[in-house]
Amino acid sequence: MAPARDKSGFHLNEEAFNDTAADEFYIRQALNLAQQAFEADEVPVGAIIVHEGKMIAAAHNQREMLRDPTAHAEMIAITQAAEAIGDWRLDKCTLYVTLEPCPMCCGALLQSRMKRLVYGAHDPKAGAVQSLYTLGNDPRMNHQLLITSGVMSSECGSILTHFFQQKRAQGKK
């Protein structure tokens, strides 16, 4: 039997779809973190990492606060998760994030051997999972991710749209 494919043609594993309620629960938690980022005047992206059913990392973008171009929610959460389990290999973990990861973050997911990625909104300007690039499923890489996309995409996209509308109204970004 051929592997299942999502709408974009990516190979999917049935295991990636075993708990829609859990996916929505964790994306909602990531959205709460995105709201914290919004309130801190950071691009509102939130990320959660779950290991064997337990949330072990939670972060939002902190580039402005830390003055660090690598301080994306995913990068901070990956560092927290590695510390929490005492290993750089996150092969039993799932990252839940409100926005499709960029090339840097997708590269970090592959380097950490993250098992699964669940994200909300697609990123047509910098998405490295499905929108611009397909790093997460590139067979030339030594690791591929199980990917579930579009979970609560409307809510995840809405907070970003509102943030950038507000910035444009202020003459910024």
Kindly report, residue by residue over 121-168, the tens digit of the pLDDT. 999 999 999 999 999 999 999 999 999 999 999 999 999 999 999 999
**Is 78's pLDDT higher than 70?**
yes
- Alpha carbon distance 129, 135 (integer Å): 6
> Taking residues 112-121, what's their average pLDDT?
98
φ, ψ for residue 68, nearest 5 deg: -130, 115
DSSP state of 88: S
Q: Which of 74, 83, 100, 155 is catalytic?
A: 74
For the question of residue 100 being annotated catalytic, the response is no
More confident residue, 1 or 132: 132
Which alpha helices (DSSP H) does the chain contain, by range?
20-39, 63-66, 73-85, 103-111, 153-169
pLDDT score recorded for residue 173: 61
pLDDT score recorded for residue 2: 35
**Is 97's pLDDT higher than 70?**
yes
Per-residue pLDDT band at 171 (split at 50, 70, 90): confident
- Which residues lie closer than 8 Å to 134 by C-beta, 6 or more apart? 10, 128
Q: Which residue has the tokens 């051997």?
A: 113
**Is 16's pLDDT higher than 60?**
no
Length of the chain: 173
Q: Give me the percent of the chain exceeding a pLDDT of 70.
A: 89
pLDDT score recorded for residue 18: 57
